[in-house]
Structure formats: C-alpha cells, structure tokens
C-alpha cells in the first residue's frame, strides 16, 4: 500500500472543504439578510443571544471566497493556462490580507481600551467581538502560510482557531460563562462561532497534505490508526462531560461523584479505543507479513523460472524532469544477459543504452516511447536489437516494455523484459541454410533428370 496521499483522497477532502465553505457562507448570508430585514433571530439564532455583526458576516464571506479559491485554483490553472500564476496567487492572498489587517486594527483598539472597539460600521450594524477578531487573525495567518514549507505554521494557526471557536461553542452548549475567562476575550455570537469553525475546518481540508492533518488521510496503517483514535479523543470526552453535567443538574448525583464517574468512563472508553487500535494494528501487520512472505516466495519462483528460460528484467522509476536519467534496477539474469557486474554497475540508464548497437539505439528508444502510449490490457511494446557486451561479444535480444501508471494516470515505472535470442537466431539461421541447401540439392537432382531425359542418346 503506497504511503502518502493519492488524488482520490485529495478530491474527497476538497469536496468536504467546499461543503464546509458553503455552510459558513450560508451563515454569513443569513446574517446579512437578518440585518437587512431587521429579523434578529437570523443574526443570533435566539433573541437573547449576541448577534453576528455585519463586518463579521462580510469577513466570513471573504474567508469563504479565499478557501473556495484554494480548492479551485488548480482546476482554474488547468482550464486557463494563459492566466499568470502571480494573478491567481494574489487572488488567494488579497482577501486574507484584508481580513488580517482588519483583525489587527480591531485587536489594537481593544488593547488600548477603546469603548467603540469592534464597531467598524457604527453601532447600528453590530460589533466585532475580540474573540472574533482573534479568530480572523488566526485565519488570515493560516491562509498566508499554509503553502510555505510543510504548512506547519498554517495548520497550527488553523488548529488554534478551532480551539478558540471550540471554547466559545462549548461555553454556549454547556452554558458555562466562566469558560470564557480561560482567555481574555468577549464571547462570540453562536452563528459567528459556527461559521469560523467551518472556515477553519474547510481550510484544513483544502490542504490535507499539510501539517498533522496529513496523517489522517494517509493510505497506510498510520492513517488508519489516526482515523480510529482521533474521533474518539475529540468527541467522546465532550459528550461524556455534557451527559455528566446534565445528570448533575437534574440531581441524579453529587458533583464530586459525577466527576469521578466521568473520569472512570472516559478512561474506559479511551482505553478501549487504544486497545482496539492496537488489535487492528496487529491484524494489519500480520496480514502484511503474510503478504510479504507470499510475495517473497513468488519472487523467488519467478526468478528461478526466469533463470531457466534465460529471461531478464529491468525497471526504472520515471523522473518527471529527466526520464532517461532514472535509476535502473536489473534482475540477476539481466546482469548476465548484458554482461554486467552487479557491483560495478552504476545503475544509470545511459550505461545500459551504451551497450545497445549504435544502429539499433533509435529503434530501442522508439519502442520505449511507444510503451507510454499503450493502454492497460494492450500488448507491450516489443523490439529486437543487438548489444555489444563489455567483453566485445555481440548478442541479439528480444525486449518487451510496459509502463505502469498511478491512479491518476501519471507514469510511475517503466518495466522491460529481455531474452537472449542469439542462440535461437543462430539455430534459425542454420535451419534456413539447411533448407536452402536442401532446396538447391533438390533442384540439382531435377536438373539431372531433365538432362538425362533430353539426352540425344536416348
């Protein structure tokens, strides 16, 4: 199983990112409609809760555009190759820069104790809370740094944004006002918290190969364990805490007993998850070990069969910039066919190509290129050619070439099978010579019969 991320995983993550963007955009649009039509419930879900301000809704829409552009910019580059890359990059960055500068301005006004801080469009269109400004600043940093290096800074900023919005949402769900004192900022409106949380999730899903999130999308056992453990760690404790709080509020048990039960149940659940992950890993490794042993046995049988049939094989990983400079792996029989020493071979394609007779090199290269055009299920490209081995001996080889592709259709490896046809050609030549001599002998006998028949003495 190939480590890393494949195109299918990227496609699914981008699709999920667009869903999260649509959710955040819907929240912003509903809030703006609520302000235009003077319907408070559309801006706050409940009349007794804080409202999502107009500047916040506009910021959410700008954030939605930025994340949507990230998920779509690759397709746009493909569809519009004439558009400069810098133009597309700036379309990604300008909204994030605007969001970041606005957030810094709001935070600075809160820092100096300005009583009008957060009222960007005046008091009648709502106020941007300090927590909202901090979240937007983290979102802007994440957008601007997600594509630098491995994206560690961007993913960390987005994760911190999820923590900030998570604290706010947890306080609303549990109705614990003291939770907002964990960090010195005012509470956000519920729609704002939901919209920002959706934006942070969308941003992380837009680049699933960045930061810690790439472990969740890996195709190997590491990704499987991560996907098994992460939901339990992230979801189970809050659900158990919510159930315990509601039970304590209803008078089922005292707080001290409730926290003890919560600790025990959480420990049991997480231990069960870890044990399940360990068992799953053991099962996967056992299956991999059996598969590896079976592959090793098949490889040994194949090598014996190829040695008996005097068939060799070579393969090379295809470099995108210089395919001919790729490293070549030769089978044991192939070393003998080409007359190369395993310890002395430098692994270069040019070294093998140099053994090909100068009159046949173009034919060999044409066959290799033709292999790239063959589709799966078609016959491999075939060619007969001569080589001059290092000891000066000329040999005739028959070669078949096939190209392996990944799930996205990109070439991964080129594989060739070679067979020494020198002896077979010698036998064919001798057989043809014998048949020629036999034909000549037959014609000679016929001529003698004609000569005798036509003789005057008869």
Could you report the per-residue pLDDT of 278-289, keeping only the tens digit for each?
A: 676 767 777 778
The pLDDT value recorded for residue 33 is 93
Average pLDDT in the chain? 77
pLDDT above 90 (res 156): no
Q: 3-class SS at 83?
A: coil
Decide: 107 and 130 in contact? Cβ < 8 Å: yes
The pLDDT value recorded for residue 415 is 87
pLDDT above 70 (res 437): no
List the Cα angle 92/14/412 in 5-degree steps. Answer: 105
The pLDDT value recorded for residue 90 is 66
Report the sign of the C-alpha dihedral through residues 268, 178, 230, 239, in that order.
positive
Decide: 236 and 219 in contact? Cβ < 8 Å: no
- Would you state the structure tokens that stand for residue 101, as one six-digit string? 């500068």
Which residue do the tokens 């269109």 mark?
Answer: 125
- Residue 251 — pLDDT band, cuts 50, 70, 90? confident
- Would you state the structure tokens that stand for residue 64, as one six-digit string? 């939605």
The pLDDT value recorded for residue 323 is 45
Could you report the per-residue pLDDT of 29-63, keeping only the tens digit for each?
A: 999 999 999 888 888 877 667 788 999 999 999 99
List the Cα angle 296/297/298 in 5-degree steps. Answer: 90
Decide: 185 and 136 in contact? Cβ < 8 Å: no
> Which of these, 8, 64, 334, 338, lies nearest to 202 by C-alpha position?
64
pLDDT above 70 (res 438): no
> Which of these, 159, 202, 164, lies nearest to 23 by C-alpha position?
202
**Residues with Cβ within 8 Å of residue 378, at least 6 apart in sequence:** none
Report the sign of the C-alpha dihedral through residues 364, 369, 372, 373, in that order.
negative
Burial degree of 284 (CB within 10 A; 0-12, 13-18, 19+): middle
Extents of the domains making up the chain: 7-218, 220-309, 310-420
The pLDDT value recorded for residue 21 is 94
The mean pLDDT of 96-111, rounded to a whole number, is 91
pLDDT above 80 (res 229): no
Kindly list the distances between the CA atom of residue 284 and the CA atoms of 96, 227, 277, in Å, as whole numbers in the listed order.
Answer: 43, 15, 10
* Segment among 68-77, 228-237, 328-337 with least mean pLDDT: 68-77
The pLDDT value recorded for residue 81 is 45
> Which of these, 133, 165, 134, 139, lies nearest to 67 by C-alpha position?
139
- Residue 199 — pLDDT band, cuts 50, 70, 90? very high
The pLDDT value recorded for residue 345 is 86
User: Residue 382 is inside which H or E element, if any?
Assistant: strand 381-388
Kindly list the distances between the CA atom of residue 329 and the CA atoms of 100, 340, 352, 360, 434, in Å, as whole numbers in the listed order.
Answer: 52, 12, 11, 22, 41
Could you give the percent of the chain with pLDDT greater than 90?
15
Could you give the percent of the chain with pLDDT greater than 70?
71
The pLDDT value recorded for residue 2 is 41
310-420: CATH topology is Beta-Lactamase (3.30.450)
> For 312, which DSSP code?
E
Q: Which residues pair with 387 in a beta bridge?
A: 356, 395
What's the distance, CA 385 to chain centroid? 40
Burial degree of 29 (CB within 10 A; 0-12, 13-18, 19+): middle
CA distance 198 to 63: 10
Q: 3-class SS at 383?
A: strand
The pLDDT value recorded for residue 456 is 57
CA distance 412 to 49: 57
The pLDDT value recorded for residue 84 is 46
The mean pLDDT of 184-203, rounded to a whole number, is 84
CA distance 207 to 273: 27
Q: What is the pTM of this model?
A: 0.56
Which residue do the tokens 């837009």 mark?
Answer: 206
């Amino acid at each position: 199983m190939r480590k890393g991320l494949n195109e299918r995983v990227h496609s699914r993550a981008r699709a999920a990112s667009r869903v999260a963007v649509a959710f955040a955009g819907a929240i912003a649009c509903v809030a703006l409609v609520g302000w235009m039509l003077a319907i408070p419930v559309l801006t706050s879900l409940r009349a007794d809760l804080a409202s999502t301000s107009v500047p916040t809704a506009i910021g959410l829409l700008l954030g939605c555009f930025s994340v949507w552009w990230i998920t779509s910019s690759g397709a746009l580059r493909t569809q519009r190759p004439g558009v400069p890359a810098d133009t597309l990059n700036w379309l990604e960055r300008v909204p994030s820069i605007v969001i970041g500068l606005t957030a810094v301005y709001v935070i600075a006004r809160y820092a100096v104790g300005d009583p009008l801080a957060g009222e960007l469009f005046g008091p009648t269109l709502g106020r941007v809370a300090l927590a909202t400004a901090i979240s937007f600043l983290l979102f802007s940093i994440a957008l601007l740094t997600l594509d630098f290096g491995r994206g560690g800074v961007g993913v960390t900023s987005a994760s911190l944004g999820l923590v900030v919005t998570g604290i706010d949402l947890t306080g609303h769900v549990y109705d614990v006002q003291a939770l907002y004192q964990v960090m010195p900022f005012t509470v956000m409106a519920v729609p704002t918290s939901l919209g920002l949380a959706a934006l942070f999730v969308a941003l992380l899903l837009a680049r699933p190969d960045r930061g810690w999130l790439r472990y969740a999308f890996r195709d190997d056992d590491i990704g499987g364990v991560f996907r098994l453990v992460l939901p339990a760690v992230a979801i189970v404790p809050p659900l158990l805490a919510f159930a315990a709080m509601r039970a304590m509020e209803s008078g089922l048990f005292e707080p001290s007993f409730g926290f003890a039960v919560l600790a025990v149940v959480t420990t049991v659940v997480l231990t069960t998850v870890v044990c399940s992950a360990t068992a799953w890993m053991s099962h996967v490794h056992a299956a991999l070990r059996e598969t590896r042993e079976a592959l090793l046995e098949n490889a040994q049988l194949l090598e014996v069969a190829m040695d008996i049939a005097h068939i060799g094989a070579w393969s090379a990983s295809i470099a995108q910039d210089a395919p001919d400079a790729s490293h070549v792996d030769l089978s044991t029989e192939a070393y003998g066919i080409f007359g190369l020493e395993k310890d002395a071979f430098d692994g270069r394609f040019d070294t093998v190509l140099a053994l090909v007779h100068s009159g046949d090199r173009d034919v060999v290269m044409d066959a290799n290129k033709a292999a790239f055009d063959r589709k799966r299920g078609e016959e491999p490209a075939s060619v007969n050619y001569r080589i001059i081995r290092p000891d000066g001996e000329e040999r005739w080889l028959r070669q078949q070439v096939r190209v392996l592709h990944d799930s996205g259709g990109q070439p991964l490896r080129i594989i060739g099978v070679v067979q020494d046809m020198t002896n077979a050609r010698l036998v064919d030549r001798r057989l043809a010579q014998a048949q020629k001599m036999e034909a000549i002998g037959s014609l000679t006998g016929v001529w003698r019969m004609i000569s005798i028949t036509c003789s005057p003495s008869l």
